[in-house]
Amino acid sequence: MTVYSQRERFWWAERVEGVIRAIRNVLELLAMPEWRIRMRSTTRLFLLAVIAGTVFLGSGSAYALPEIGSEAFLPVTGCGCHSSLIEDWQPSMHAKALSDPLYMLKRDEANRATDGELGEFCDSCHGPIAVMSGENADLATASPQSLQGVVCDFCHQVTGTNDPLGNVSQILEADGTKRAQFDDANSPAHETAYSAFHESAQFCGACHNVDHPTNGLHLESTYTEWSEGPYAAEGIVCQDCHMTFGPGVTKPYPGTAAAGGPQRDHVYLMTFVGGNVGLGDSVLAEERLKAAATLTLSVDEIVAPGDMAEIATTITNVGAGHYIPTGLTEVREMWLEVKAVYPDGVEEVLGTHEFGSILKDAEGNSPAELWEAVAFEKDDRIPPRESVTDTFEFTMPERDEAEIQAALFYRSCSEEMAEKAGVEIPTTTMASASQAVYGSDAIASAAKTSEGGGDGGSNGLLLSMAVVGLALGVGTVGWFALRGRKGSSSAEG
């Protein structure tokens, strides 16, 4: 029986929806009297089959950005009234989208493998102004706004999205009007317009859903993961977590959006925080990673030497509205490691679980590169508010005790890829748990007594009692001596 990954199921569902829409449209057309007269039933059936097949087997959503000169967009230096928001944006991966060494490495590999066909598809999301202006052909002579990745004036001239969402499906009006969530904005520098779209998850999904440009396979499905999950049902959108000052929904955040502007009940930050500790804002990224998951561990406390025990670990996605990991999960690394640590410092790795996805090509070979992929060989990531339990075996050696430790780690890419790109990508511990295991009840009891103070606590109590007793004794002797002296003085008088 064929087992489909979550993303493959999303892909099939969208293809089926496309077929249904196409058939409905054609049926409406064929229901018109003039069409019923002109076409025989066999011809109509053939037309339906052709259209359905085209929709079903055709390429994924791929939109060509309009041709717009870079002069229609301001560089970041032209947004000086919003200096605090620019400070938020500068360390973000949006600012580094086109210059990220990991992205550049992967894009160059894709271009070499596809004779340069794939680069512009990737750049459309990572450097939309560069693509619209044609300046991506020679970035050495490109304007600042083209080089600045996903820059302020691109996002704030977006008016909506095409359907289906994804693959840079934004609709733009590069007319100089800046659009955002305030319905009373008034600027002396530019025209303003209210945009509810800027507070919607669809605004982010236009880039954060990426389908293969020829076969429609969901390569990145962060938006879809959210839309199918509990956060969407509760009305929690991307901006609530990724554009606020702390992990989770940390709003309202009162402040001003521009110098001299009115006080607002809530202002979104331009941090766009994700899990990129190595290249993004390391402090904020690490906070998000550590808040994303919890880890519990259970194992028998007493395991006699030579006996085997089962270790159960449970990881729960408690803080992410999408799967963990998400995004380009063929590159991201998240793994569980369970080990035994003995009193002398010796460590024994008992098992690991690597979470993520593996692609396969048309011949069934895996792992496959993004541009060769037609399906997923594996996808075992953790959906929002769901848990994954793993079990491991542990055989107690001829030792008195051991500590079983479990940890969930995350890294934006492999060490090999980081080395190729010339960057250092640290490993972050997202969550951890530990439990002591003893060889017998007697050893466990002795260890607990020692940890709780043991004989040292009893000796301390005895010493305290002795000191108090000595003080009382000295005081009593002194009192009687003083009374004796007083009595002697009275007799002499």
Angle subtended by helix axes 6-30 and 41-57, to nearest 10: 150
- Check pLDDT > 50 for residue 380: yes
What pLDDT, on the 0 to 100 scale, is given for residue 64? 75
What pLDDT, on the 0 to 100 scale, is given for residue 27? 54
Q: What is the distance, to the nearest Å, from the Cα of residue 153 to the centroid of all Cα atoms in its chain?
A: 25
Are 319 and 247 in contact by the 8 Å Cβ rule? The answer is: yes
Two tokens, residue 175: 């007319």
Two tokens, residue 424: 């250092």
What pLDDT, on the 0 to 100 scale, is given for residue 481? 52
237-273 pLDDT tens trace: 999 999 999 999 999 999 999 999 999 999 999 999 9
pLDDT, mean of residues 117-127: 96
DSSP 280: S
Look at the block and give the residue holding tokens 């030497």. 305
Closest listed residue to residue 293, CA positions, set 281, 277, 275: 275
Q: What are phi and psi of 340, to 5 degrees?
A: -105, 130
What pLDDT, on the 0 to 100 scale, is given for residue 22? 46
- Check pLDDT > 90 for residue 15: no
Give the integer Cα–Cα distance in Å for 195 and 93: 24
pLDDT, mean of residues 343-362: 97
390, burial (CB in 10 Å: exposed 0-12, middle 13-18, buried 19+): middle
- Check pLDDT > 70 for residue 477: no
The CATH label, of 1.10.3720.10, 3.30.465.10, 3.40.630.30, 2.60.40.10, for the domain at 284-447 is 2.60.40.10
Q: Which amino acid is at 160?
A: G
- Spatial neighbors of 251 by CB under 8 A, at least 6 apart, are 240, 244, 266
138-172 pLDDT tens trace: 999 999 999 999 999 999 999 999 999 999 999 99
pLDDT band at 235 (very low <50, low <70, confident <90, very high): very high
Q: Where are the domains of the chain?
A: 6-57, 70-273, 284-447
- Check pLDDT > 60 for residue 491: no
- Check pLDDT > 50 for residue 493: no
Q: What are phi and psi of 342, to 5 degrees?
A: -100, 160
- The least confident of 48-62, 116-130, 184-198, 220-234 is 48-62
Q: Which amino acid is at 319?
A: G
403, β-bridge pairs: 341, 436
Phi-psi region of 209 (alpha: psi -120 to 50; beta: other; left: phi over 0): beta
What pLDDT, on the 0 to 100 scale, is given for residue 17? 53
- Bond before 384 cis per omega within 30 degrees: no
pLDDT band at 471 (very low <50, low <70, confident <90, very high): low
Helix (H, G, I), strand (E, B) or coil at 433: strand
What pLDDT, on the 0 to 100 scale, is given for residue 16? 55
pLDDT band at 108 (very low <50, low <70, confident <90, very high): very high
Give the integer Cα–Cα distance in Å for 284 and 106: 25
With pLDDT > 70 as the criterion, what percentage of the chain qualifies? 79
- Check pLDDT > 50 for residue 423: yes
Q: Mean of the per-residue pLDDT values for the chain?
A: 86
- Check pLDDT > 80 for residue 54: no
- Check pLDDT > 80 for residue 375: yes
Are 74 and 191 in contact by the 8 Å Cβ rule? The answer is: no
Exposure string over 36-45, b if 16+ CB within 10 A, otherwise e: eeeeeeeebe
Residue 72 has a CB neighbour count (10 Å cut-off) of: 18
pLDDT band at 450 (very low <50, low <70, confident <90, very high): confident
What pLDDT, on the 0 to 100 scale, is given for residue 3? 42
